Amino acid sequence: MALREVLRDLAPPLLLRTLRTALGRGLRFEGEFASWTEAQKASGGYDSAEIVRRVLEAELKVKKREAADARDGVTFCEMQFSLPVMAALARFGASREGLRVLDLGGALGGVYRQYKAFLPGRRTSWTVVEQPAFVELGREHFQNAELQFVTSVDEALSRAPVDVALLSSVLQYLAEPHEALRQIGGSGAAHLVIDRTPCSDLERDVLTVQRVPAEIYPASYPCWILSRPRLLESIGTRYAVFSAFADGGEWRCSAGRFELAGFILDRRA
């Protein structure tokens, strides 16, 4: 299966990078489903056009300096850095004149903006892989000499090699996350960064339906709670774990507890 096919239908559009913002506000992971199709049937869907509109409005406020940062269509008065991700990117870029990043599911380039604020003056080539609606708006409002938007990993790799593949809150929303990991591992990237990914200590993955409270946006969609052992097995032949971290707190699904995990990985020699 081509990587283009694996990642063709990234869902949900926003990919809910900041799950922790919903703590205490009703975010739920319900049920255990035997197949992706079954989980899709149990999902209520969402108004993707409305989500895109809200995300664009929030990002434009940041661009106009009416807000310091934005995530999930919500603005903030200060930057919402993922410090492990920023530290990893700083580490990777320390020995290079410029860092080449593939940002899978990167919406309108929020992590790129944070990276440039965290390390001002540092050169980078940053390619966001997203759904067509985000790519169109990204190109219209945010694209520049460093930041580019494309609709497939194949297109991103055809333009230039990458140093880092960034997968922040995206694997859980892919129908075949392990296949995606294996094929991204074959991209030649020297490093992988996985962030805010639901992981348990079970030996099996658990497929749930994630329900988002209406105050964020009304939505429900399939979501994997990934087995940490299986996830690491999918990438272990090509990459070694430099550091593992979690995004704070424990979550629950019908199969038990899990956390929002992250990994910094270096390609094996």
Q: What is the pLDDT of residue 127?
A: 96
**3 state SS for the chain:** CCHHHHCCCCCCCCCCCCHHHHCCCCCEEECCCCCHHHHHHCCCCCCHHHHHHHHHHHHHHHHCCCCCEEECCEEECCCCCCHHHHHHHHHHHCCCCCEEEEEECCCCCHHHHHHHHHCCCCCEEEEEECCHHHHHHHHHHCCCCCEEEECCHHHHHHHCCCCEEEEECCHHHCCCHHHHHHHHHCCCCCEEEEEEEEEECCCCCEEEEEEECCCCCCEEEEEEEEEHHHHHHHHCCCEEEEEEEECCCCEEECCEEEEEEEEEEEECC
Nearest to 72 by CA among 23, 111, 24, 17: 17
3-11+27-267 folds as Rossmann fold (3.40.50)
- The amino acid present at 125, given as its one-letter code, is S
pTM to 2 decimal places: 0.86
What is the chain's pLDDT, residue by residue, as a tens digit (269 residues)?
454 444 444 444 344 444 444 444 467 899 999 999 999 999 876 556 777 888 899 999 999 999 999 987 889 999 999 999 999 999 999 888 889 999 998 999 999 999 999 999 889 999 999 989 999 999 999 999 999 999 998 899 888 889 999 999 899 989 999 988 887 888 889 999 999 999 999 999 999 999 877 776 677 889 999 999 999 998 888 999 999 999 777 788 988 999 999 999 999 98
Domain ranges, ordered by start, for the chain: 3-11+27-267
Nearest to 33 by CA among 190, 205, 196: 205
